[in-house]
Amino acid sequence: MTLSVTNSSKKYSVSIIGASGYSGVELTRLLLQHPHVDLRELYAFSQAGKRASELYPALSCTKIYKPYNGESESDIYFLALPHGEALQHVPALLMAGKTVIDLSGDFRLKSVAEHEEFYKQAKSPDAVMTYGMSELFHEEIENSRAISNPGCFATSIILGVAPLFFGAENSFKVRTINCTSTSGISGAGRSSKTELSFSEMSENIRAYKVGVHQHIPEIMQALGTSATTPSFDFIFTPMIGSLVRGIYSILNVKLDNPAAIEDIKLCYRNFYKNAPFVRVRDTMTEVRHVSHTNFCDIHIAHATRSGSLVIVTAIDNLLKGAAGQAVQNMNIMLGIDETTGLL
């Protein structure tokens, strides 16, 4: 690991590849106000030649989007590209000694077979980075210069059940997780699609990619198992609803060993006591509680004597599910307070 902040005025040059999409513009906004960042270049393909403020007037950024042609002058590169495209650029950046944080799914999975099955794209076995779930892999992130940022659905689900798998108590035995997660339309990206238009999605909600969503193997991998040989039964129903941003996950968990709800809440509070962006709430969380923030809110809603749990989580898919978590990971890599630029 080569990055470290040695004084409060130290700044690193940062560029974004794929800066004109929804995650890219959130990255731009966060990095423009970050005290340790000198935001250099905004690279975009279809929007090249336009000013950022022309595309996003609220951004008040006069930088012009440029096509990316392999430049490597900055210290840190964020990539916010469609799946499959980061594989073309990251190896050269790493070879040039740059620090890379990728927001796509190109480098998340260790299993090539699972990547090819769920992403329908080929990749080499060495195309794997440190998985950037800030609350679970802090030390690994701290010592890495190549981070694969988690997916948005995956973030809301993994954080919602991680204490049951990795808590100090380590006494819970998960048999089944049945999850229904609803995402805002922005999760599909900025490209124009008829099925995501206002007339199609207003007052509407629908399930999609049931059983085949690309975040399934990512979730299983982070929880210490795999999608092909799982140690527990996992059912995931992703949905898209008529909200712009946010993810709302309902996690129905079945334990082999029932526990009192207060014991479960205590486990969660202990597990996340040093996690500044995870809030274990006593009352029901809502998307509006976390919108435009980097928080993940968790509520243990119900527990039965037979071992059934209902856990509810909420995040902003563009921040904790993408750009915010990416900046949080950068802060950890720099060795500064992970909340810097995010509160």
Instruction: Please indicate whether residue 296 is annotated as part of the active site.
Output: no
Catalytic entry in 61, 152, 179, 296:
152
Residue type, 9: S
Torsion angle of alpha carbons 332, 333, 336, 339, nearest 10°? -40
Number of other residues whose CB lies within 10 A of the CB of residue 310: 14
Rounded to whole angstroms, how far apart are CA atoms 194 and 302?
39
Rounded to whole angstroms, how far apart are CA atoms 93 and 112?
22
What the block records as the tokens of 315 is 């995040």
Rounded to whole angstroms, how far apart are CA atoms 216 and 233?
12
Rounded to whole angstroms, how far apart are CA atoms 132 and 136?
8
Rounded to whole angstroms, how far apart are CA atoms 255 and 267?
15
- Torsion-angle region of residue 70: left (phi > 0), alpha (psi -120 to 50) or beta? left
Q: Which of 338, 340, 342 is nearest to 35 (CA)?
A: 340
Do residues 284 and 274 touch, judged by C-beta distance below 8 A? Answer: no
Do residues 289 and 132 touch, judged by C-beta distance below 8 A? Answer: no
Residue type, 46: S
Active site (catalytic) residues: 152
